[in-house]
Structure 1
Amino acid sequence: MNAIPEPAAHGADAVNAALERFAGARLWAATQAPYLASALFALTPLPHDTAPPRPTADEHWNVHLHPSTTPTTPVPDLGWWLLHHVGHLLRDHHTRARPFEAERWARAADAEVNDDLPDAAPADAISPESLGLPDGLLAERYAELLDLIDTPPHLTPCADPPFTGPEAMTALERELLSRAVAAEIEARGTAPGGWRRWAEATLRPEVDWRATLARLVRRGLAQAAGRVDYSYRRPSRRAAAVPSIVLPALVRPLPRVTVLVDTSGSVTRPALEQALAELDGVLRATGHQRLDVICCDTQAYPAQRVRAAAQVELVGGGGTDLRPGFEAAERGADVLVVLTDGDTPWPPHRPRPYVVTCLFGDRHTAPHWAGAVRVPHGKGPG
């Protein structure tokens, strides 16, 4: 990408006129979408002769304006394009584009952004409706769907400029601005659905629960493996000098893992099966060849020792009280993994095993003494 050209050759009057029109358009845009006002006023206008007739923005929050066409562009039109570019910048489209061909990604990103903008859009602006696609999708999904349809030829994406400008904000400042805008959107509650979903994802990004579960289980295994004991199964080498005396040696046994499964009616079977499969993979990677599973609703059912998660028979289906399950598991476990929605009485004291809870949904929490990973709604089965 080329560096920004020299300042416009049109003279100070043309540049000032472009800047004045930009200021008016930005104010218009802020009245149309007040929840984006902070982002709009973070834009830096850069008038220069090689800018395209229509305003464009680069990833450093610079808006490139042509000194000839900008002063004659109606304020609502220019303001609409400012909202359009703020949408691209806040949603980080310039870094999300890598897996896709450039023009297809540009159309898809335009569809995601323009879906949430005021109705005063230019006639050639791309929208989900103009593409014949459903609204409310992410650009990645639009890019996939564009492979399956013929795009109307008159719809041209707003291409990225072939130049950039000075870095108006650092990466940290851009991140703080995005979070501030997201907080404003959430506080007002009047933004379109796409912007509300973006704000939710920005303020509370979804964590990869599978990776978190694996990390917590491995931590518990490492902690339990640190416990050593004396055993006569492996005689001490120091006793070799006195053949008649057998001394025990220090051993580090493989930690025993038990899975406590909440099989009450409030937890779906597909979610439990998926979590068990994930846990099965983690344990196999650490050398565990068997899985001890205790199902529990208001009573603890007999432990099942299986070679694979698919062999577990999920029994139960009544109310929820996992305390009997904790009592049954505590006797033989070093690490206890609990699969539950959290709607249960918990033991009043920290159990002896290292406890990891895998919580389905977001209505309940785990005790302070347990590591926790939360599985969002609908994420259990895949």
Structure 2
Amino acid sequence: MSDQPALDRFASARLWAAARAPYLASALFALTPLPHGSAPPRPAADEHWNLHLDPVTTAATPVPELGWWLLHHVGHLLRDHHARARPYREEALRWARAADAEVNDDLPDAPAGTISPETLGLPDGLLAERYAELLDLIDPPAHLAPCAEPPFTGPEAMTALERELLARAVAAEIDARGTAPGGWRRWAETTLRPEVDWRAVLARLVRRGLAQASGRVDYSYRRPSRRATAAPPFVLPALVRPLPRVAVLVDTSGSVSRTALERALAELDGVLRATGHRWLDVICCDTEAHPAQRVREAARVELVGGGGTDLRPGFEAASPRADVLVVLTDGDTPWPERRPRPYVVTCLFGTRHPAPAWASTVRVPR
């Protein structure tokens, strides 16, 4: 069967979608249609802006319905959901539902069986990461299936720089018109005037702490001094600069989301590996410090606890063994009255509570 009927239907649907959402016209015309027999029945986009189309079902799909799917996939691509999905590799279904909820929040007249905040019974106007947290608390209806992504990709239709420039151009169009739905206006505001990336701040603060701690040198007989002495029986110690010891104090009280903690732990894991650390020493604490866990990767940390919040026992347990202490908490805790011995980096989830003046602090969005 010729692919031309499917391509003609795609072209008509793209014009319909551009008329429906003119602020997304540039993105719609950046899609590259790829008809092929192994495509799923519904259109599916890959991260390179290729739209995989089944020739038979595409040619038979009504133009408004196909146009709706084009707007849906442009929403995923512009909001960079492929990259944002990486922390959820082991929870792909939950992330797919959450990402669909974020996108379809701004798309009325959805086809039957699609996911939206309304069909899930969740508040609208949230980001996919927040929907992923809330999906932990509910049992989504079985008939609501996320749009499946293809297990393959096509050619790189645009470079990463071209995709970034396109996103900024679309954001500028949305900002200039001022008539787009609320979710798109918020996305445009964030794209054009981005907040500081908490991941970059965390990496910078941890590296600063490691650099400061590594300046603490000591003498060791494991490596004798190179300065020879006149009396051979005497062996002098040499100055050494050991790899700083890093501990992680995790607030596992009921007020902190497990998803947020896992995301921050995974990011911290990457920072430490880049600096030569191969182990992660983690202490979970609610109102008591649980036994320290030494793991090779963040995914192996068992987050134990769930009661009230008092991190002071955790500070007491971690301080003797650490040169740098990273604290993951929402800040709703009593703090030690005095500055702890280690260099402290605090990851604060949310904006409700402050950190002590002696801690280097990064704010992590919930």
Does the pair score TM above 0.5? yes
Contact 1:60/1:169 (8 A) holds in 2: yes
1:178: which partner in 2?
Answer: 167
1:65: which partner in 2?
Answer: 53
1:111: which partner in 2?
Answer: 101
Deviation at 1:157, TM superposition (A): 0.4
Output aligned runs, 1:163-242, within 5 Å: 163-207=152-196, 211=201
Q: Deviations over 1:295-331 (max 9, x none)?
A: xxxxxxxxxxxx979xxxxxxxxxxxxxxxxxxxxxx
Q: Deviations over 1:104-156 (max 9, x none)?
A: 00000000000011x22101110001001000000000001101001000000
1:27: which partner in 2?
Answer: 15
Q: Distance in 2 between matches of 1:204 and 1:161?
A: 32
Output aligned runs, 1:92-131, within 5 Å: 92-100=80-88, 101-117=91-107, 119-131=108-120
Deviation at 1:207, TM superposition (A): 1.6
Q: Distance in 2 between matches of 1:198 and 1:129?
A: 20
Q: Distance in 2 between matches of 1:159 and 1:92?
A: 16
Deviation at 1:211, TM superposition (A): 4.2
Q: Distance in 1 between matches of 2:151 and 2:110?
A: 24
Match for residue 35 of structure 2 among 47, 59, 69: 47
Deviation at 1:208, TM superposition (A): 5.2
Identity of aligned residues (%): 78
* Structure 1 residue 82 corresponds to structure 2 residue 60: no
Q: Distance in 2 between matches of 1:57 and 1:198?
A: 20
Q: Distance in 1 between matches of 2:123 and 2:77?
A: 23
Deviation at 1:99, TM superposition (A): 2.0
Deviation at 1:191, TM superposition (A): 0.6
Match for residue 91 of structure 1 among 69, 79, 86: 79
Letter in 2 for 1:140: E
Gaps of at least 5 residues in structure 1 are 1-9, 219-284, 286-306, 310-374
Distance 1:164 1:211, change over 3 A: closer
Q: Distance in 1 between matches of 2:51 and 2:196?
A: 34
1:235: which partner in 2?
Answer: none
Q: Deviations over 1:161-180 (max 9, x none)?
A: 11110000000000000000
SS in 1 for 2:34: strand
Q: Distance in 1 between matches of 2:126 and 2:97?
A: 13
RMSD (CA atoms): 3.5
Deviation at 1:31, TM superposition (A): 0.7
Q: Distance in 1 between matches of 2:29 and 2:51?
A: 11
Distance 1:70 1:145, change over 3 A: same
Mean CA deviation greater in 94-103 or 122-131: 94-103
Q: Distance in 2 between matches of 1:49 and 1:211?
A: 46
Contact 1:107/1:126 (8 A) holds in 2: yes
Q: TM-score by structure 2 length?
A: 0.55
Structure of higher CA gyration radius: 1
Match for residue 147 of structure 1 among 125, 136, 142: 136
Q: Deviations over 1:29-56 (max 9, x none)?
A: 0011111000000000011111111111
Q: Distance in 2 between matches of 1:211 and 1:35?
A: 33
Contact 1:76/1:120 (8 A) holds in 2: no
Gaps of at least 5 residues in structure 2 are 209-322, 324-336, 340-360
Q: After TM superposition, which residue ranges in structure 1, 4 or more long, deviate above 4 angstroms?
A: 208-212
Alignment: residue pair count: 224
1:249: which partner in 2?
Answer: none
Q: Deviations over 1:6-62 (max 9, x none)?
A: xxxx2x3xx111000000000000011111000000000011111111111111000
Match for residue 161 of structure 1 among 150, 153, 156: 150
Q: Distance in 2 between matches of 1:120 and 1:23?
A: 20
SS in 1 for 2:146: coil
Q: Distance in 1 between matches of 2:201 and 2:106?
A: 33
Q: Distance in 1 between matches of 2:86 and 2:159?
A: 22
